[in-house]
Amino acid sequence: MVDGNNVIHGWDDLRDLQRRVPGGAYPELVRRLGEYRDFTGERVVVVFDGRGATLTEERPSSGLQVIYTSGGQTADDVIERLAIRYADQYQITVATDDRAEQDVVVAAGGACMSIDFFRQRLDAVKREREDWLKRHRRKQD
């Protein structure tokens, strides 16, 4: 799971994009997570703080779930609730720098990684994907 707002505010490029184009960092993060999911096969759930009356979910591709909380709850609330509910059934890892959220997730049996470590992981997977594509293109030539 990914604390979407925490990542957007913590990564310089997404924070800058959000300042230049309000709302623009959300689809960019979802795009990157989709590429990560497509290459690794890992299920990805990203949770954003919402503004609407109800919680909404989108599934732009198989294995990628985007959740926008209702106005009365935060992404932290939803991530913590999901971790408590599913940590005994699934291997849950949450990318966030929010210490209180990390404590709840770990107490529930999940794991956490910093958003900087998650960025390194995404970048490594992107390089691996690009290398794979280069190798397969050469084979076709």
The C-alpha atoms of residue 83 and residue 105 are separated, in whole angstroms, by: 6
Nearest-CA neighbor of 114 among 95, 128, 135? 95
| Global pTM value | 0.90
Query: For 123-134, what is the mean pLDDT?
Result: 90
Token duo for residue 103: 């404590």
Q: Is 133 helix (H, G, I), strand (E, B) or coil?
A: helix
- Identify whether the C-beta of residue 67 lies closer than 8 Å to the C-beta of residue 78: yes
- Residue 72 domain boundaries: 2-140
Predicted pLDDT of residue 141: 64
Predicted local distance difference test score (pLDDT) of residue 133: 84
Q: Running DSSP on this structure, what letter comes out for residue 114?
A: -
Q: Across the strands, what pairs with 68?
A: 48, 56
Give buried/exposed letters for 87-107 (b at 16+ CB in 10 A, else e). Answer: beeeebebbbbbeebbebbee
The distance from CA 36 to its chain's CA centroid, rounded to whole angstroms, is 10
Residue with tokens 């795009």: 31
Give the model confidence (pLDDT) of 95-128 as tens digits: 999 999 999 999 999 999 999 999 999 999 999 9
The span from the first CA to the last CA of the chain, in angstroms, equals: 39
Per-residue pLDDT for 137 more than 90? no
Q: What does the pLDDT look like over 27-82, one tens digit per residue?
A: 999 999 999 999 999 999 999 998 777 888 889 888 999 999 998 899 999 999 99
Number of domains in the chain: 1
